[in-house]
């Protein structure tokens, strides 16, 4: 159950582990270097050199076009910059649509409130000690001590490959929000914080403890790192077939409980999101919809659901790029659309 909860949250678009940056922990010599926000010049250079990554579709209905893009929430720094195909689509849109806009202060405060630990969800002492040991190893210290246990293990998993350059600080969604602001595009959320937390948080204390225990077991075996590495490579190289077979290689949908969790994290959310996308598209089009990539696969994925709602859904293919490096060890008046986008991204990424 642990892996499904974490990886569903990771690429389904919950994106809540980005809140780890709010906490801060003392640096140690053996810790990965902290992500340093690029300045405007670095962002402009990154966008000029950006390659196409991820998964992009056009959505056509009633004479209007929108775009659907599958994102990733922990990436290498170079990957967060949108490639030419995405930039071209953004230049033709009127609105960015995301799962949840964590740049909005009200949304952020709601997430923090909903994620806060409550006495009835305190872990048994031995399990709490195991979790704290993993947080220490991840250089987080007590930064997450006030969060629900589900949030803590999700954050640990998303941050597990920082030493190899994959960092939630470079998440694609935040970059797109910054670009949208630079282009003066409105940003609309598909879900509320309460809806996303309902998908992530466990309904019973026993289920919370089982999630934490199984997640820690997988961390001890290194399975969380292997899974994140494989997912990230598939995203970077645009290999949708690899994501389509995720249920076969993740070993995360074997039990009735795991299958129920998959439905809650993916299928139960995809239908309402497809309905909202269709409503927002009606009469105008011009949407750029950015959603976690695991929402894109299978007969209940967003491309299939939108096709069933009358859209012509077409994958945007680009020339195959060289295979992404195997997640290398971390080294750690009117404006033009590109300059405006860079300025907006800088405002989001640079304090």
| pLDDT tens, per residue, the chain with 351 residues | 333 333 333 333 334 434 444 444 446 778 888 888 888 888 889 989 999 999 999 999 999 999 999 999 889 999 999 999 999 999 999 999 999 998 899 998 999 899 999 888 899 999 999 999 999 998 888 888 899 998 999 889 888 899 999 998 898 998 999 999 888 999 999 999 999 888 888 888 998 898 899 889 889 988 889 888 999 999 999 999 999 988 888 767 666 666 777 777 888 899 999 999 999 999 899 999 999 999 999 999 999 999 999 999 999 998 765 555 544 433 333 333 444 444 444 333 432
Q: Quick check: 2 and 150 in contact, CB under 8 A?
A: no
Of residues 52, 44, 59, 53, the one with CA closest to residue 84 = 52
Structure-block tokens of residue 164: 């190899």
């Amino acid at each position: 159950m642990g892996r499904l909860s974490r990886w569903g949250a990771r690429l389904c678009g919950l994106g809540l582990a980005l809140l780890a940056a709010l906490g801060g922990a003392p640096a140690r010599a053996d810790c990965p270097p902290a992500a340093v926000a690029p300045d405007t010049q670095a962002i402009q250079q990154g966008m000029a050199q950006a390659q196409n990554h991820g998964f992009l579709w056009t959505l056509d209905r009633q004479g209007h076009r929108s775009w659907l893009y599958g994102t990733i929430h922990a990436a290498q720094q170079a990957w967060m910059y949108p490639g030419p195909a995405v930039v071209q689509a953004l230049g033709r849109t009127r609105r960015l649509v995301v799962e949840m806009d964590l740049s909005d202060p009200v949304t952020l405060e709601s997430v923090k409130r909903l994620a806060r630990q409550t006495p009835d969800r305190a872990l048994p002492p031995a399990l709490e000690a195991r979790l704290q040991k993993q947080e220490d190893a991840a250089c987080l210290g007590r930064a997450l001590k006030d969060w629900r246990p589900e949030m803590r293990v999700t954050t640990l998993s998303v941050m597990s490959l920082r030493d190899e350059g994959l960092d939630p600080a470079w998440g694609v969604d935040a970059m797109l929000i910054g670009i949208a602001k630079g282009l003066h595009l409105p940003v609309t959320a598909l879900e509320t914080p309460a809806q996303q937390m309902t998908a992530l948080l466990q309904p019973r204390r026993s289920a919370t403890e089982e999630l934490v225990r199984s997640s820690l077991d997988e961390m001890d075996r290194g399975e969380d790192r292997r899974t994140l590495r494989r997912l990230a490579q598939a995203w970077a190289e645009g290999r949708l077939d690899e994501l389509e077979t995720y249920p076969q290689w993740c070993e995360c949908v074997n039990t009735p409980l795991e299958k129920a969790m998959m439905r809650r994290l993916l299928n139960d959310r995809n239908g309402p999101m497809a309905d909202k996308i269709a409503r927002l598209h009606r009469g105008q089009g011009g949407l750029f919809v950015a959603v976690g990539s695991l929402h894109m696969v299978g007969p209940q994925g967003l491309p299939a659901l939108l096709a069933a709602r009358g859209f012509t859904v077409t994958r945007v293919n680009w020339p195959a790029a060289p295979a992404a490096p195997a997640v290398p060890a971390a080294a750690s008046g009117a404006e033009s659309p590109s300059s405006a986008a860079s300025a907006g991204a800088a405002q989001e990424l640079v304090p």
